[in-house]
Amino acid sequence: MRKIRNVVVLGFGILPACKLKNLLLRICGMRIKSSARIYPQLILGGGRITVGENSLIGPFNIFRNVELEIGANVIIGSWNWISAANALSTLESFRGSLRLGDHSSITSRHYFDCSGGIVIGQITSVGGIRSTFITHFVETKEAVQTCRSIQIGDHVQLHSNLKVAPGANVGDQSLVAMGTVLTGHTFPQKSFIAGVPGKVKTETSGKYFNRKIGKITTT
């Protein structure tokens, strides 16, 4: 029955965005609000998906063996690969999940390994392209694979081409510069982080870090 359900979910996932698609996915156990817009996706492994009010998932993303939970008014772009390694699912540290708070966004062409769990707060943006988030690794002392979660706070801006290592924890109201490598450390609130490896350069300030909605106006 599980394999049949996975094939059915895969079929429904590639349908165009419409309320009927949302209903069909709900019948399969997904929690999809009627106002959400989910364009054609590849949903592999029958992972669970929760999508809040007025959220949008653009076309041609791949969700593989992952539990996705996004809040209201969230935007996910296109061509993102979001997955978890089922081979690690017996580990106590395995989470297999990606969670995004209200008004947050992910642009396009990023890679998320969600095996250890990734939590992204409210009004936070993963911008640019080609950022990589990795949550599982080989612990060389004992020669075993394990996982550590990635935690990104509220009102954070992450720029393009980042490398985010297992265990990275970025505090609220922070800014991460393009090309930064975030190691498995905790970075405090209001940090401007840059470099390889990433280090706190100064404190952030500005209206961006106190806004109430995710959308940014143009001038």
Kindly give, in sequence order, each residue whose CB lies less than 8 Å from that of residue 201, ignoring residues fewer than 6 positions away.
Answer: 192, 193, 194, 195
Domain chopping of the chain, boundaries:
43-208
Taking residues 24-32, what's their average pLDDT? 96
Q: What CATH superfamily classification does 43-208 receive?
A: Hexapeptide repeat proteins (2.160.10.10)
pTM of the model: 0.95
Per-residue confidence band for 57, with pLDDT thresholds at 50, 70 and 90: very high
144-153 burial, b at 16+ Cβ within 10 Å, e below that, comes to eebbbbbbbb
Least confident of 83-97, 150-164, 165-179: 83-97
* pLDDT value at residue 11: 95
pLDDT > 90 fraction of the chain, expressed in percent and rounded: 88
Q: How far apart are CA 112 and CA 134, in angstroms?
A: 6
Is the peptide bond preceding residue 197 cis, with omega within 30 degrees of 0? yes
* pLDDT value at residue 215: 78
Taking residues 64-85, what's their average pLDDT? 97
pLDDT tens for residues 139-148? 898 899 999 9
With 80 as the cut, is the pLDDT of residue 110 above it?
yes
Three-class secondary structure of residue 209 per DSSP: helix
For the chain, the average pLDDT equals: 95
The one-character DSSP state at 16 is P
Which helix (DSSP H) or strand (DSSP E) does residue 49 occupy? strand 49-51
